[in-house]
């Protein structure tokens, strides 16, 4: 048990890992899925980790100064993590987010003291489905605010603290919690920080671990497939853009998941395992089930449960 903490930021990390044996049995596949419950972080997502790492690395190397505002674009999860860390450390935080993301996230960030700037979606983007075009509009506004306020940009797509948070912590925790019983690892990619960080660590422990990138079926940009529809429902990734963190030599293969597969698996997680998670977590587990039906039959797959289903109650994720 942890000792008394000095603040909520110290509760970030050391999340539990569970064997999804009931779900594996339900789907009739052979093997094991080890799921790291990242939605049990204080901000209910794995992005709390990168928020803490980026801020603390920036403090240490002089990028961030006392009293300086912090700005970042976010789909909501990184912003929530930054709101928590900035609240504890005494920084003003400004989150810039597309109106296409679920409103629960904006409300939570505001409750944590953040200023939230909401950006209209691109004209061709369906409501609630954020594309790379939407993200570009958010990026433009974030850059503007940084210049106007001489702020520190907690740039999750480029700040190496993103990768470090998972390389130094998440991946090591996975390996220890599973006693090294990991044959494969996968992640639905947003910034690619989680994927690259964990892949680096796991491969250091076991060089032949297979590492899979998960993308939306209609937006498998990283796999080099034609993008038929960038406006998918799986929030937090699949942006159809080049990612600075990607190291292709760490990618064993690419997997694609439909909106329906992600939604159905999120619902199955809740009903079968008592794990109440969001779209991207459903995508991760759906991809693992596919692997256990084929290339990774009888093997052990590690993954993260990225965020809480509480962040999607305004969507159709749990309508049924």
CATH number where 197 lies: 3.40.50.1100
Cβ neighbours of residue 303 closer than 8 Å, sequence gap 6 or more: 33, 34, 35, 36, 185, 186, 187, 284, 285, 287, 288
Task: Report how far residue 263's alpha carbon sits from residue 69's, in angstroms, rounded to the nearest whole number.
Answer: 37
| One domain for residues 218 and 272 | yes
Catalytic residue from among 36, 46, 47, 200? 47
In which band, very low, low, confident or very high, does the pLDDT at 320 lie, cut at 50, 70 and 90? low
**Token pair in block for residue 101:** 């993301």
280 an active-site residue? yes
pLDDT at 139 over 80: yes
Residues 56-62 have a mean pLDDT of 98
Do 167 and 285 lie in one domain? The reply is: yes
Are 269 and 275 a contacting pair, CB within 8 Å?
Answer: yes
Give the per-residue pLDDT at 105.
Answer: 87
Are 292 and 24 spatial neighbours (Cβ–Cβ below 8 Å)? yes
Structural domains counted in the chain: 2
Instruction: Tell me the mean pLDDT in the region 221-234.
Output: 92
Q: Which of 131, 165, 280, 308 is catalytic?
A: 280
One domain for residues 130 and 179: no
Look at residues 153, 180, 200 and tell me which one is the last residue of a structural domain: 153
Active site annotation includes 21: no
Instruction: Report the mean per-residue pLDDT for the chain.
Output: 95
- pLDDT at position 127 is 79
Considering the entire predicted model, what is its pTM? 0.94
How is residue 74 written in tokens? 């976010």
- Asked, for residue 317, whether it belongs to a domain, the answer is no
pLDDT band at 102 (very low <50, low <70, confident <90, very high): confident
Same domain, yes or no: 167 and 294: yes
On whether both 41 and 177 belong to a single domain, the answer is: yes
Containing structural domain, residue 222: 8-45+163-312
In whole angstroms, how far apart are CA 235 and each of 88, 189, 190, 216, 311?
27, 11, 9, 10, 11
> 197 pLDDT band (50/70/90 cuts)?
very high
Answer whether 280's CB lies under 8 Å from 262's CB. Answer: yes
């Amino acid at each position: 048990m942890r000792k008394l903490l000095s603040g909520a930021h110290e509760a970030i990390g050391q999340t539990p890992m569970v064997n999804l044996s009931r779900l594996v049995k339900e789907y009739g596949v052979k093997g094991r899925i080890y799921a790291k419950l990242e939605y049990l972080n204080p901000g209910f997502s794995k992005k709390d980790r990168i928020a803490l790492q980026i801020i603390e690395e920036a403090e240490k190397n002089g990028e961030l100064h006392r009293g300086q505002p912090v700005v970042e674009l976010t789909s909501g999860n990184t912003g929530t993590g930054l709101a928590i860390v900035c609240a504890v450390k005494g920084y003003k935080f400004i989150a810039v987010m597309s109106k296409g993301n679920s409103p629960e996230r904006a409300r939570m960030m505001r409750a944590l003291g953040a200023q939230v700037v909401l950006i209209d979606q691109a004209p061709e983007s369906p409501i609630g489905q954020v594309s790379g075009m939407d993200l570009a509009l958010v990026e433009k506004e974030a850059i503007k605010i940084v210049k106007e306020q001489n702020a520190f940009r907690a740039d999750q797509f480029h700040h190496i603290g993103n990768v470090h948070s998972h390389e130094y912590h998440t991946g090591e925790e996975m390996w220890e919690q599973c006693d090294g019983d990991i044959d494969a690892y996968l992640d639905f990619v947003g910034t690619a920080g989680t994927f690259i960080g964990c892949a680096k660590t796991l491969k250091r422990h076991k060089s032949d671990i297979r590492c899979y990138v998960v993308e939306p079926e209609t937006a498998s940009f990283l796999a080099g497939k034609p993008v038929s529809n960038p406006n998918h429902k799986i929030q937090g990734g699949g942006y159809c853009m080049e990612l600075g963190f990607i190291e292709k030599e760490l990618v064993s293969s690419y997997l694609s998941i439909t909106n329906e597969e992600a939604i159905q698996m999120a619902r199955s997680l809740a009903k079968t395992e008592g794990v109440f998670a969001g779209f991207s977590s459903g995508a991760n587990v759906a991809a693992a089930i596919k692997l256990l039906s084929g290339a990774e039959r009888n093997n052990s797959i590690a993954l993260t449960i990225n965020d809480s289903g509480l962040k999607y109650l305004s969507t159709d994720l749990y309508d049924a």
